[in-house]
Chain A
Amino acid sequence: DAGVIQSPRHEVTEMGQEVTLRCKPISGHNSLFWYRQTMMRGLELLIYFNNNVPIDDSGMPEDRFSAKMPNASFSTLKIQPSEPRDSAVYFCASSFGRGYKYFGAGTRLSVL
């Protein structure tokens, strides 16, 4: 398996634009997690899904953020409109149940 695949690896956009980050989990995994990492706040859990259903989205910063998992092999994290303070590295991870997590390489987002 190629592991957790995230795209794009880098995204540079202007304030106010819509940003969509994509994640393909490892085949067979039924839990998917979105994290955000900044120097100030470290790694923060944004939301996680179990069997494609959002279980806990308490970490989503505000209504500008939304995440979907339409099927077991794909998830998106959308920011609309984007702001400079959203600049961070966004990681997607997957696991089978409570098993240990496999992380993707991340998407580095810069909002100008």
Chain B
Amino acid sequence: DAKTTQPTSMDCAEGRAANLPCNHSTISGNEYVYWYRQIHSQGPQYIIHGLKNNETNEMASLIITEDRKSSTLILPHATLRDTAVYYCIVPANSNSGYALNFGKGTSLLVTP
């Protein structure tokens, strides 16, 4: 898997946008960027993924830089329930890419 680098922790006020950065400078041209999150005591949950273009779904938006070396996950209006660990993952485009290798992620705390 391409190595990813994320800040250890971030804070965000409720109702504000949470912008979570991820660096993946060794990403290959056909490797996707995936974001998952894990709320305390629950299993990881898929959020969004993308290749080149920006993506948006009901949970979040994903902004990928033109050189694809970094991306930002945006939670437009963070709520207390968004407090979780957020993982940025770039699976290898090979047999091993079927699996996901979770790093440390970013622990996001949404405060009232």
- Residues on A lying within 8 angstroms of B by beta carbon are 4, 31, 33, 35, 42-43, 45, 48, 50, 55-56, 91, 93, 95, 97-98, 100-106
Contact = CB atoms under 8 A, between A and B. Distances in A.
A42 B99 CA distance: 15
A56 B97 CA distance: 11
Identify whether the interface residues of A are mostly helix, strand, loop, or mixed.
strand
A101 B91 CA distance: 12
Contacts of A91: 43-44
Interface of B: 34, 36, 38, 42-46, 49, 91, 95-104
Nearest to B46: A100
Contacts of B97: 98
A102 to B, nearest CB: 7
B59 to A, nearest CB: 12
A56 B99 contact: yes
B43 A104 contact: yes
Contacts of A42: 102-104
29 contacts: A33-B99, A35-B102, A42-B102, A42-B103, A43-B102, A45-B99, A45-B100, A45-B101, A48-B99, A56-B95, A56-B96, A56-B99, A91-B43, A93-B43, A93-B44, A95-B98, A98-B91, A98-B98, A100-B34, A100-B49, A101-B36, A101-B100, A102-B46, A103-B44, A103-B45, A104-B43, A105-B42, A105-B43, A106-B42
